[in-house]
Each structure stands twice: as structure tokens, then as C-alpha cells.
Amino acid sequence: MLAPEIIRRKRDGHTLQAPEIAAFAQGLADGSWSDAQAGAMAMAILLRGMDRAETVALTEAMTASGAVLDWSQAGLPGPVLDKHSTGGVGDKVSLLLAPIVACCGGVVPMVSGRGLGHTGGTLDKLEALPGYTVDQPPDRLAAVLRSVGCAIVGASARLAPADRRLYAIRDVTATVESVPLITASILSKKRAAGLQALVLDVKVGSGAFAQDAALAHTLATSLVQVARGAGLPATALVTDMAQVLGSTAGNALEVRESLDALTGRAADARLLDVTLGLSAELLHLGGLHASVDAALQAARQALASGAAAERFARMVAALGGPADVLRDAQLPTAPVQRVVPAPRAGVVAALDVRAIGLAVVALGGGRRRNGDTVDPRVGFSGVRGLGTAVQAGTPLATVHAASADAADAAAAALLAACRIDDSAPPPPPWLHARIAG
């Protein structure tokens, strides 16, 4: 099938057939489609859209473009489950969810990503732990899953290579925002990981990709319907990202907050609500509990008993990190730490969470371009949430920076991102919607 003819058909609004879509995915994987042709196709899909059947076909074709993990002979102790988030600021849920689900009988081969734009990346967070190695060969990954039940690692280049190439092309051709392309990108990688069930965390708010409710619901519905159409049971929760999730943003700081939550030293209520809600959905979807309520109780017990903390420590040690991360995490600290005081009394009424994420990137905690080195030490701690009453001089957050000048810039960015009024409506709930197939 000729690439120009397939592009022309989608450009003119026709519904593509599965063989045409398979030819596109194969051309991405083997290089027979040029970057120009792939970019043109991505733009045609962005402008003309894809129906559910087309998106299922694209997901399946990109999954089949590389290796698909098969756990049937690996001797794993439970169903293979995972979670995916569309990304936010301070989103450290994966670090809590994976060990919780493992304690409750699931097996979690969590293939995660790095920071993108203003959003943080799970792999960057974990690499703040000295020695933690995200690139693991399949036999080592299987061994860790058998012994620990969870492993948070990076994607192999062998998984969904068609998506790997298309993702890079979308980034430079203004075609990132296509819901069918986002859907197929997420699900092709997850299906290639050999999952039996998937829960999706679709963020909505100023710190999310989907900043309005309509887009978040459209994306969540697409993900669930296409996943199920491709044979992967899935449920999506639309969760709030109108404020930083938890009280930290920045890699080592978020690991520290996660350890505090796992051990019960300190825990943000919204972070726990999101984590436990997603864990319960996944445990129910994976057949480990007859109801979401029963699964929620099991997840809470795994956290409260300390079993999830112990499981996280075993995972970190097995993947090359500190031998006893609960006692000595060996996390790096920034040389400059500066409190950002509230300029007036009132209530935190609004936060530009995207701007806060970009401030972390500017500190060095994210990448401005591919190949940048991430500074794990920097970011914000003690970030005040919506509805918090403050006095003039009350700390709004603490900046962790590599230099005084960087701390000054980050403090100014945080103040510009925070609106303090005399009063404010109640903050939005953590859960906006639940979408099941």
C-alpha cells in the first residue's frame, strides 16, 4: 500500500481499514515511511480524527510492531496489572500504588516514563535514589516480579517501536493533542507489557494536559473503550490537578514524600485518596476482590500495616537502589533552601499548577530538550493547597535550588502562580468521574 494514498484517504476524511493502518505502523517501525509522510499522516489524523475501530486498529498495529511480553511461563504469583497517568505536577502515585497492589496479590510490571514538558516523570523520581536502575533485561525483570511482585522500570526499545518513532514526530509537528493518537500511544505500550488489566488516571485542571473537563472525559472514554476493544480490561478515573498532588514537586523531594506516606510519618490526604482509589479499581478489575469497596479496604490495610512500605524497600533494593531505603534513602539535597512567604493574609484561591511545574523545570528538575541532565535535588516542598488560610509571611512553599539566583527566580514564579483572595470556594474533589466499559 502506497503511503501517499493512505495519507490522502485520511486527509479527505475517509475511514481507514485495518490493513491501511497496519501499513502505517509497519512503515513507522521499519523506516519505509519517511518522517515527512509520518508527520503528514499524524496531521491528517489530528484534523480528521479516527473512530473507535480505527483507533483500536492503530493500537493493535503499534503493539504488534515490536515485542509483546508474555508472562504465562514466568511463574508470577498473581494477575499482571498496571496503572497509567496522563501526567501532572507532584504526581507520585506510582511509587505508592505499585507496592500496595503487590501486597494485595497483584503483579505490577510498571513500565514508566520520564518527565515531559511541565509534568514530572516516575523514572526521574526513582533515579534520585543512588543506584536505582530503570533499564532491566527481561529475565531480571521477571525475577524481581516473582520475588517482590512489583517493579517500576523503563520501556525497552523493543516495545512498540512504531509508537516510539511516532511520538517523537508528533512532538515536532504540532500533533500531540490528537485524542486517537494519544490513546493509541498509551495503550500500545501497555498492551505490549502483557497486562491483564489497566487502570487509567486522567488528570484535569491547570496542571494537566487536559485542562477542561470536556477534554478529560473525551480522553478517558477513548482510553477505556479502545482498551476494551483491543482486549484489555480497563477503567479510568478522572482526577483533579488544580493543585499540586501532595505537598512536593521535584524528584528527590517527591521520593521523600512518598516514603513518608508509605511509613505513616506524614501523608497528604488527597494523595492518599487518589492512590487508594486507583489501587482499589485495579484490584477489583484484576479479579482480586469482588467489589471496589472490599479492594479499598485491602489497599488501606496494606498501607497502614507497613507491608506496602516494606514491599517498596524490597523493590528498590532489587533494582539496585539503597539496601534499606526506609532507614537511609541517601537522597540528595539542594544547597539553597528558601521559604517563599505569602505577600498578604487571605486564602489560597487559585494555583497555576502548570507554571509551578515549569518552575521546577527551570530549576533543573526537568528537561528543556532531549538529552538534558536532570538535577534531582531541586523543586518545591511544603506547597500550600487550595483553600489554605494564610497570614502575611506564612510560608507558601520552600524552594530547593542549586543557586541563590535560581531560588530567586523560582520564588517569583511561585508567587505569580498563586492567587490569594479574601475568601475562596471549596477546592474541587479529587475524583471528577469514573468511566468503565
- CATH number of the domain enclosing 350: 3.90.1170.30
What is the extent of the structural domain holding 9?
A: 3-49
Residues 6+ apart with CB under 8 A from 408: none
Check whether residue 196 and residue 295 sit in a common domain: yes
Q: Which residues of the chain have a pLDDT value below 70?
A: 116, 370
Question: Please, which residues bridge with residue 80 across strands?
Answer: 107
Instruction: Report the run of H or E that residue 171 belongs to, with start and end.
Output: helix 161-171
Check whether residue 343 and residue 318 sit in a common domain: no
Check whether residue 222 and residue 238 sit in a common domain: yes
Domain count, the chain: 3
**The predicted structure's pLDDT at residue 177:** 85
Q: Where is the domain boundary, 264, 299, 328?
A: 328
**The predicted structure's pLDDT at residue 370:** 63
Catalytic residues: 82-85, 122, 170, 185, 189-190
What's at 104, amino acid-wise?
C
**The predicted structure's pLDDT at residue 197:** 97
> pTM value?
0.94
Q: How is 292-347 classified by DSSP, letter by letter?
A: HHHHHHHHHHHHHTSHHHHHHHHHHHHTTS-TTTTT-------SEEEEEE-SSSEE
pLDDT tens string 140-187: 999 999 999 999 999 888 889 999 899 889 978 889 889 999 999 999
